[in-house]
Amino acid sequence: MQGNTACAEGALAAGCRFFGGYPITPSTEIAETMARRLPKAGGVFISMEDELASIAAVIGAAWTGARAMTATSGPGFSLMMENIGYAAMTETPCVVVNVQRGGPSTGQPTRAAQGDMFQCRFGSHGDYSTIALTPNSVQEMFDLTVKAFDLADRFRVPTFLMADEIVGHMRERVTIPDSVEATSPRPLAEGSLPFEANENGIPGFAPFGSGRAVHVTGLTHDERGYPDTTDPEAHDRLVRRLVTKIESARRAIADYEVMNPDAETVFVTYGAPSRTVEQVIHDRPGDSIGHLRLRVVWPFPEFALKEFPNAKVFLMPELNLGQMVREVQRHVDQPVVAIPKIGGELHTPAELVSALEEHR
Amino acid sequence: MRHEVRFSGYGGQGIILSAVILGRAAALYDGKYAVQTQVYGPEARGGASMGQVVIDDAPILYPEVADPDIYVIMSQQGFEKYGTRAREDAVMLIDADLVRSRPACRAYEIPATAEAKTALGREIVANIVMIGALVAATEIVSREAIERAVLDSVPKGTENLNIKALKRGFELGERACKP
């Protein structure tokens, strides 16, 4: 099965019943699969007029209580940024898939990149936090899509599946379980205000039609959901909570793999380049090479870097000119070396071996 | 053992589908691992098309094809773009009537398109003839597995034609291998 198809199957298995999207290479197969499958599953597929409208429709659908998602690539992701901020501010659980291609602008439509890793963290204005997952196989296109819906619901936050053209378009064997466990947002308790948070900073959810009248606004609002745009404390309380509810749960959200924790030279990867690192480690059985592979990149699990107590250098192959490497650099004292590659092709094992020999 | 297979021809011949069918046979019916990738670009019908498959008994880590040991080439342009750098110990199956050049490595000439047109009456199954020849010549997957993968992948109503094409391919592959 193709990666993009597996993503759509994961969404369907997770109970996604709304897809609003605008097709864009290299993500189009997700929309195609959803268009074919959703109506038969009792869901709704809408081909929207553009990406601004797509994410708006997804937010609206999520507020009816549906699991909702859209899929796009860089140019569409840029267009979605305004309403992604709105989703963060209104604490709307939804999933946005970005099958990354070469940018900036329309760039390389058919080629792979990981150039939107900071955009998915900081792309909309103002302070907020979100969750981003990075699959490295067709199986993970399925598994992490399921997981993205769960995280979106648990934390009431727009959640990103940051794939790339390589995992989106390659075909591998996938095991699809008969059913997957799906959470749903904690319902709003009777007597609670619509944006009154629990001890984890997360309010209960009362979608439209649930019997509670909820005012939803992108303006700074109080616990009732009513705008309160001039009180410094109201703004501080709300926005600080939006960030803290994610950042304080970094350990609960974290998902990563550790290989050879005793190693002195450690690769840190996410997405497709991790496959090349795994090949290099496999091909050099006597050589102690560490590998931290992140399946969740935001919130950034800085504690995972401590799993390598002997590390003398961290190497970071990315399909960009060095993005997540900055995040690693600010958390460790050791040198952190970027191994950037752009143009659309995955690092080859030989390229990583020469980087290894140069920097260890 | 890791095998890397590259298919090339022109858009419309079913080059990508050939790679998908081979990968499916290995991964679903032979109990092996496979990763299929392709040059995904704005190429249209008639342009050079390329699909590739990695097949291994163990899980596949690096998913791309770096240096194929098996080639299937179905157009001159496909040869020029994707076949000229074949390593010496590679094996190349060539649609003899569509590719003028010959590689330095071992090559098997398979008249797949001519066979599809004349003996089978449908040029469109040339890629299936080629897949049959590939499996007979290299035994990269079992004949049972490729047969099931072909049946999974072809439109309803064309099963008999495609299986006939596949078996004709087996014969051409066996014949080409004979010294």
Whether A188 contacts A212, CB under 8 Å: yes
**A108 CB within 8 Å of a chain B CB:** no
Whether A100 contacts A165, CB under 8 Å: yes
**A180 CB within 8 Å of a chain B CB:** no
In this predicted model, what pLDDT tens digit does every residue of B87-140 receive, in sequence order?
999 999 999 999 999 999 999 999 999 999 999 999 999 999 999 999 999 999
Instruction: Please judge whether B28 and A165 are an interchain contact, meaning their C-beta atoms are less than 8 angstroms apart.
Output: no
**Residue A163, token pair as written in the block:** 């794939």
Alpha-carbon distance of B19 to B7, in angstroms, equals 7
Instruction: Please judge whether A165 and B40 are an interchain contact, meaning their C-beta atoms are less than 8 angstroms apart.
Output: yes
Alpha-carbon distance of A8 to A222, in angstroms, equals 37
Q: What is the largest CA-CA distance in chain B?
A: 43
Alpha-carbon distance of A192 to A202, in angstroms, equals 12
Least confident piece of the model among B7-16, B36-45, B63-72, B80-89: B36-45
Alpha-carbon distance of A186 to A37, in angstroms, equals 28
Every domain of chain A with CATH number 3.40.50.920 lies at 256-359
> Is residue A176 pLDDT above 90, yes or no?
yes
Q: Which residues pair with A97 in a beta bridge?
A: A71, A161
Every domain of chain A with CATH number 3.40.50.970 lies at 1-253
Candidate from A169, A173, A279 with C-beta closest to B40: A169
Instruction: Please judge whether A110 and B33 are an interchain contact, meaning their C-beta atoms are less than 8 angstroms apart.
Output: no
In this predicted model, what pLDDT tens digit does every residue of A270-317 receive, in sequence order?
999 999 999 999 999 999 999 999 999 999 999 999 999 999 999 999
In this predicted model, what pLDDT tens digit does every residue of B10-22 receive, in sequence order?
989 999 999 999 9
**A165 CB within 8 Å of a chain B CB:** yes
Instruction: Please judge whether B37 and A272 are an interchain contact, meaning their C-beta atoms are less than 8 angstroms apart.
Output: no
Assign B46 a pLDDT band (cuts: 50, 70, 90): confident
> Is residue A159 pLDDT above 90, yes or no?
yes
CB contacts of B28 in chain A (<8 Å) are 173
The CATH number fitting domain A1-253, selected from 3.30.365.10, 3.40.50.970, 3.20.20.70, 3.20.20.370:
3.40.50.970
The CATH number fitting domain B3-177, selected from 3.40.50.1820, 3.40.50.300, 3.40.920.10, 3.40.50.720:
3.40.920.10
Mutate to test the interface with B, among A108, A167, A171, A291 (most CBs of B within 10 A): A171
Alpha-carbon distance of A72 to A21, in angstroms, equals 8
Chain B residue with CA closest to A110: the answer is: B41
**A272 CB within 8 Å of a chain B CB:** yes
Domain ranges in chain B are: 3-177
Instruction: Please judge whether B63 and A346 are an interchain contact, meaning their C-beta atoms are less than 8 angstroms apart.
Output: yes
Chain A residue with CA closest to B17: the answer is: A171
Chain B residue with CA closest to A278: the answer is: B61
Complex ipTM more than 0.90, yes or no: yes
Assign B42 a pLDDT band (cuts: 50, 70, 90): low
Say which CATH topology domain A256-359 has.
Answer: Rossmann fold (3.40.50)
Candidate from B23, B34, B41 with C-beta closest to A110: B41
Which pLDDT does position B44 carry in this prediction?
63
Query: CB count, 10 Å around CB of A224?
Result: 13
Assign A246 a pLDDT band (cuts: 50, 70, 90): very high
Instruction: Please judge whether A275 and B63 are an interchain contact, meaning their C-beta atoms are less than 8 angstroms apart.
Output: yes
**A164 CB within 8 Å of a chain B CB:** no
pTM of the model: 0.96
> Is residue A9 pLDDT above 90, yes or no?
yes
